[in-house]
Amino acid sequence: MLKKKDRYVVAVVGATGAVGNEMISVLEERQFPVEQLRLFASERSVGLKIDFRDDQIRVETLDNDSFKGIDIALFSAGAQRSEVYAPIAAASGCIVVDNSSAFRMHNDVPLVVPEVNPDDIKWHKGIIANPNCSTIQMVVALKPIHNVARIKRIVVSTYQAVSGTGKKAMDELMEQTRSLLSFKEVQCNVYPHQIAFNCLPHIDKFLENGYTKEEMKMVNETKKIMGDNSIRVTATTVRVPVFRGHSESVNIETEKKITANEVRALLSTAPGVILFDAPEKNVYPLAIDATGKDATYVGRIREDESIEKGINMWVVSDNLRKGAALNAVQIAEKLVEFA
């Protein structure tokens, strides 16, 4: 476990990307006890300076000796780099919180959402995995229900922002929108089809079973985080022309009957959840309302009239914050708490 200190040496790997930038902001906003912040990125970013508190931190190149003296490293540099450098960091005595998919399903690596399974942090062996963005917000909303009524089956359809792909995808949506409004031909470089004014039922690669990798992440990660392999999960993930914030239509079937009002009561006090559920007043979660916010917003809660023990809900969260950077920093906060 982490050695107890007043302040810690913290690294952000992939500091110049969208998630890395958000991690730096969240560390500052939440006043994480940082003694020294080290920033690492690819060679083309070395030498850039990024604001943190009242200082400017120079971006360094990443190598095998980068992690000496570092207590906690937040990784947001992609699976390939994590596979190489996370074990090196852990071997040096640094605790890694990895945002990539590289270690999520490893049996000896905890996959953690602090509102759901914080105690799993305690059995880490140097690496802790940050789950997929779409999985995080869903399990934050579902765990309180599972604790009371036990969820048997989940059917989820996602409406995911382009920021989940990165800055180039955000730029592509902007440029395509400009082109279409100017009656010009659009260019598709990031996605295989036009994303502006369109929806793509295609996130990550297609697998032999017909699902995408993103969909199977939701299936497998949900079971691991919730600690229940008996939950049956199916997902359809869709990329939509939204810059930031993932939305999800979630249908669950429970073992014990639970009413919509009982779900509202549970979620009204659930950690990390804000209830936005007054559809008669046009109050329900929107991606634009969740942008820049830490919470997972839940609304449109209603009983599924097609089955005896079913609930429908609408779940929205900022994919760069709770879906990535915030969750990673919250894991680091738990490490400090448990030290």
The one-letter amino acid code at 298 reads V
The CA angle 221-284-247, to the nearest 5 degrees, is 30
193 catalytic? Reply is no
In the set 94, 124, 146, 246, the catalytic residue is: 246
Reduced 3-state DSSP string for the chain: CCCCCCCEEEEEECCCCHHHHHHHHHHHHCCCCEEEEEEEECHHHCCCEEEECCEEEEEEECCCCCCCCCCEEEECCCHHHHHHHHHHHHHCCCEEEECCCCCCCCCCCCECCCCCCHHHHHHCCCEEECCCHHHHHHHHHHHHHHHHHCEEEEEEEEEECHHHCCHHHHHHHHHHHHHHHCCCCCCCCCCCCCCCCCCECCCCCECCCCCEHHHHHHHHHHHHHHCCCCCEEEEEEEECCCCCCEEEEEEEEECCCCCHHHHHHHHHCCCCEEECCEHHHCECCCHHHHCCCCCEEEEEEEECCCCCCEEEEEEEECCCHHHHHHHHHHHHHHHHHHC
In the set 94, 124, 133, 146, the catalytic residue is: 133
246 catalytic? Reply is yes
Residues taking part in catalysis = 133, 246
